[in-house]
Amino acid sequence: MVWNKTSSLYEYKFGGENWRQTENRPVHYKMEVYMKKYLLLFLLVVIAYGLYAQTTSNVIEASQLTKEYDENELRANNRYKNRILTITGEIRDIRQYLDGTYYIALSGHKQFMDVRVNVHSSQLNKLEKLNKGQKITISGNCYGIFFMDVVIRDSYILN
């Protein structure tokens, strides 16, 4: 075959105008197709697992969560840190940080150890309706312990 401007490099290298037919394709092209299929399958499995891990959450009482962090912080971090938790507890306080964001303090097992729930900005209308002493359920990402409080970030009020 002679190289001209309308010929592709692939046609020139491997000869013939029927290079798109399977039998004329080189082995490495077939391997590329299989590699792409396996890579796509692998990515789908990873994405599916990530979605599954995000939707599965641990359900726990606020007093139990603070008790576990108080007894053994390392074990509690391994169990809860960077995981979505669903927490039920009694509201001790509702406050605003200096940056304008709000948090709910849920009563822990000790007087000065609470679960500090940083409320997502989309939840402010639900936050207005809450009162101290009320029992609520929230869902959020556990950050771990900060000073004496267990911190839950990006939380949503479930009831």
Average pLDDT taken over every residue of the chain: 82
What confidence score (pLDDT) does residue 15 get? 53
Q: What percent of the chain has pLDDT over 90?
A: 49
Q: In the structure, what pLDDT confidence band is assigned to residue 6 with cuts at 50, 70 and 90? A: low
Q: What CATH number is given to the structural domain containing 102? A: 2.40.50.140
Residue 104 pLDDT greater than 50, yes or no: yes
Identify whether the C-beta of residue 63 lies closer than 8 Å to the C-beta of residue 36. Answer: no
- Residue 73 and residue 30 in one domain: no
- Residue 51 and residue 66 in one domain: no
Phi, psi of 83 (to 5 degrees): -125, 155
Q: Residue 36's domain spans which residues? A: 9-55
Neighbouring CB atoms inside 10 A of 138's CB total 24
- Residue 51 and residue 73 in one domain: no
110 occurs within a structural domain: yes
- Residue 66 and residue 144 in one domain: yes
Rounded to 5°, angle at Cα 42 from 39 and 46 = 140
pTM: 0.63
pLDDT in tens, 23-76: 555 556 666 777 788 888 888 888 877 766 555 557 899 999 999 999 999 999
Residue 92 pLDDT greater than 90, yes or no: yes
Number of domains comprising the chain: 2
pLDDT in tens, 47-56: 877 766 555 5
What confidence score (pLDDT) does residue 100 get? 87
What confidence score (pLDDT) does residue 130 get? 94
- Residue 138 and residue 96 in one domain: yes
Q: In the structure, what pLDDT confidence band is assigned to residue 19 with cuts at 50, 70 and 90? A: very low
